[in-house]
Structure formats: C-alpha cells, structure tokens
Structure 1
C-alpha cells in the first residue's frame, strides 16, 4: 500500500497567551497543500523502517512513522511491516511533514488491517504523536487553537489561486521562533478568513513568529518580500518557519530566474 502524506501551510498565526504549563495558546488556519512525501507499507517478516529522498537523521525507532506503527501495534497486535518513506517535504520548514507522515501511517494501518477505526478515534491516536498530527486525519482546512491541537473545520477554498512555496537552506528551531515573542490578543478572527477578500489578507492577517524569526534569519524575510515583488496577493512564513509561501492569482512566469540558488521551490 502506498500513500502520499501532504504538507500544510499556516495562514495567519497568532500567539495569544502563555499557559501555566509553559506552552502558548495559538490561533491559526491549517490549509493542506499538494507537496507530499511518499509512504509505502508492506507486510514483512520483521518490522523495519527505511527512507530515501531528503536524508533523515536519527534512529529509525525515533521517526514518527515508526512511532505511529508501534502505537497501534501495541493496541491491536499488528503483524510486522516494512515502512519506507521517500522524504520530499523539507524539515524545519513549518510545513508539518513529519506529522503528516505519522497521521498517514495510522490511516494506512487502519485500512490495511481492517481496524475499523473512525476519524475521531484516529485523531485521538494521532494526538499522542504530535499536536498537529490530528489535522492530517481529515486533512481539510481547519481553524486550529489551543496549542495547535484543537480544530474546527472552516470553508476555505484556494484552488483557483496559484501557490508558490520557498524554503531557504536554514531551518528554524522552536526556541529561536519563540525568542522575543510577546503574546497578544489577535486583531482579526481567523475563523472568518473566508469572508475576507484575499487582497486584504496582507493588511489583516499576520504570523506573529515573523517578528522574532526575521531578525535572526533575514534571508527568510527576503524571500517573503521577493514573493510580493513577483505579484503575490498574500505572502507569509508558514508556522514557525523557515518556509514562506505566496498566493498568486496567476502562476508567475520565469520563477527560477528570480529565486536565489539553493532555495527549495514548490509550485
């Protein structure tokens, strides 16, 4: 069985308060995009995990794909499988690639071994693997709040627009992203994003992490500005970075001529 775990982008990201447990309450919109890894699952004599594409550091047992298998294996006594991940979604980019891989592993195991888990049950398992993992179970536009682990479906359709996604060679660590962050009440209710013309997003929808990340990684800010120079209706960093994306009415021509060498490009 093969599936294609896709990335997501954050449209707006408000850090609204700090919690007693040290985490922060967030408000954001998760929107799925077509950029995807490839994940293969086959029954095997013994359980194994392998990968290709972008190099994955660390022991196999620490990968979220393997952890997702072990989570269900302990509950349902699953047979051994070989999981192979071809990694395309960049790491440290704010695109949720690892979370998507984990969630799609749960869905594949559910289907392959007829576990009869519904989406609510799969979401509960996914929550054990990461705050945003449950989003990829339904994989539809959603308003996320709490620590990014509570979701409400929203009606948002960007299929008539063109998306360009760029990632520089740097990656942003969580500590770097939260440095100098000052929680504040959001100025715009992201649950109403579909009611706001996309031409107005630039002035109303912000990613709070840009204030702390851009001074540390000016190359990320430069890519965002470049997208606007190329005609993007809206451009933003996704999540805590380092990927940025632009939403265009029409696909920009000669894109490669404008993008510096070494930049990951998806369109």
Structure 2
C-alpha cells in the first residue's frame, strides 16, 4: 500500500505523492449542483511525483519535469495553502517545488494527490494537529478525489467521488502495468459524452469477484465515447488484453489504461509509442 513517505530536516520536507487507478466507474445520476453522482473503487499505485516545501519569506510555486498547464497561482497546492491560512493565520509562507512525473490528463489523480500530500505535509511540518478527517475536509474543497489521498487506502467512492467506504482489496499478488498514450482527455470532454444511469450491481460488490471475472462485469462508463474520440486509447486496451491481461481498463476519465497481469508482461510494442509504467 502507498504511504506518505517523507524526508525531514529542520527547514525542508519532501514527500512523494502517488497516483491512483479507478477500478470500474459508473456515472449514476446528474446532480442539481452540476456535478454527477458516481461509484468507483480508488486504488493507490506506485507512480510518484516529488513535492518539496521550504519555509520562505514569500509564498511561491515552481515545477520541473512534465509541463504543468495553467498559472502557478492556480495550482492546487497554492489553493491548499490559502485554505489552511484562513484557519491558521500564523502559518508561515513557503516555497513549493513540484517535480511532475505522474502523467497529466490521464485519470490518475496526480494533481489531487499533490494537493492532498501538501496538506498532510503542512500539517506535519507546522504542527497543525489536524486529524485525518480534518485534512479530508480541506481536501474536499480542492477537488472531488483529493480527499482519497489523505488516507491513501483502497476505497469504494460514491456521491461526487468524495465519500468513501473501505474496501478489502489487495492486488499485490498481481503485476499492474499502466500505459499512457499520446492523448489527453479533459474532464469536460469526458463528462460531456456520458449518459448517467443507475446500476444493478455496485462496484463495491463486483470487486469481490476473482480478478479474471472483472472483464465481463466491471466497466468504465467513459470508455464508449472516449474510445470513439481517441481510437489510440481503445487500441491500448486491446493490446493489453492481447498481451495477457486478466483485466484492462481506462483509469478514471482517461487517457491512461492499466492492465492487471499474473506476471510481468512484455509491452515492448507499446513502449515504442507510449509511456509504460511496470509494477505499479
């Protein structure tokens, strides 16, 4: 299981925010507030960013690694700092450096993980004495799946994706490979093409089945229209099954696709055109 691994000295702290995959994703209803009700299982995986915070005279954000779109002041870590500052006015300014490795627009929750780990880091570094539920309350204000990364354990997520029930799921005996093709799917595109509908069998129950049975029962509602818009993503999923995956699926709203294998697969052909992460 992924944990909040940190390295500490007197003035600096480094943490390693991890990604997540979605096992199943059903959009069950459109909400009056403009969001959607959904159900899914969040599972943490071992693909990491690096987040460093240093106490400083002024608040700042900089990044390296993958290019992060948007203005630095709109980054979720900066927004998280301002949320904390409202309730902890003596909170010092910090310099934030994020090395981005988790693919963006991939359905892996990378930005949400950065925000959640930032909240945990600030709580530890400056002794804010927030318990897990308190940190989750701040995280929920930043994004629907941010709160998941506070506990960072497998959960069944429902409502907007920010309410959780623990789920007994351990995939450590399998090999998970994740493939990121040259594609980007925005959240707006993903939801624009989906048709909410109630489900007969909840993902909470379906993940209790053997992994080999998931292929016939667990679906991601975004796949239909996203595969039509981005055939390359459909092709990645097909290739994972051809390489022996017991189960393969797009994660979240895409564009990454993961496969669960009994042993490490040979994805050499996919490596020619995609980023491939083994053993996640």
Superposed pair shares fold, TM > 0.5: yes
Equivalent position of 1:233 in the other structure: 246
5, 30, 48: which is aligned to 2:17?
5
Alignment of 1:16-95 (within 5 A): 16-77=28-89, 78-95=91-108
Note if 1:259 corresponds to 2:270.
yes
Q: State the distance in 1 between where 2:21 and 2:161 align.
A: 13
In structure 1, list runs of 5 or more residues that go unmatched: none
Deviation at 1:178, TM superposition (A): 2.2
Q: Deviations over 1:227-255 (max 9, x none)?
A: 000000000000010000000010013x2
Deviation at 1:70, TM superposition (A): 1.7
- The answer to whether the Cα contact below 8 Å between 1:178 and 1:212 also exists between their aligned partners in 2 is no
After the TM superposition, list the runs of 4 or more consecutive aligned residues in structure 1 that deviate by more than 4 angstroms.
none
Q: Deviations over 1:33-90 (max 9, x none)?
A: 0101000111112221111000112221100111111211222121111110000001
> TM-score, normalised to structure 2's length?
0.92
Alignment of 1:103-182 (within 5 A): 103-182=116-195
Q: State the distance in 2 between where 1:207 and 1:187 align.
A: 15
Tell me the SS of whatever aligns to 1:195.
coil
- The answer to whether the Cα contact below 8 Å between 1:5 and 1:36 also exists between their aligned partners in 2 is yes
Equivalent position of 1:199 in the other structure: 212
Q: State the distance in 1 between where 2:76 and 2:248 align.
A: 30
Tell me the SS of whatever aligns to 1:265.
strand
Q: State the distance in 1 between where 2:172 and 2:148 align.
A: 19
Deviation at 1:194, TM superposition (A): 4.3
Range moving further from structure 2, 209-218 or 38-47: 38-47
| Structure 1 vs Structure 2 CA RMSD | 1.2
Q: State the distance in 1 between where 2:42 and 2:175 align.
A: 17
- The answer to whether the Cα contact below 8 Å between 1:176 and 1:212 also exists between their aligned partners in 2 is no
Q: State the distance in 2 between where 1:206 and 1:57 align.
A: 30
> TM-score, normalised to structure 1's length?
0.96
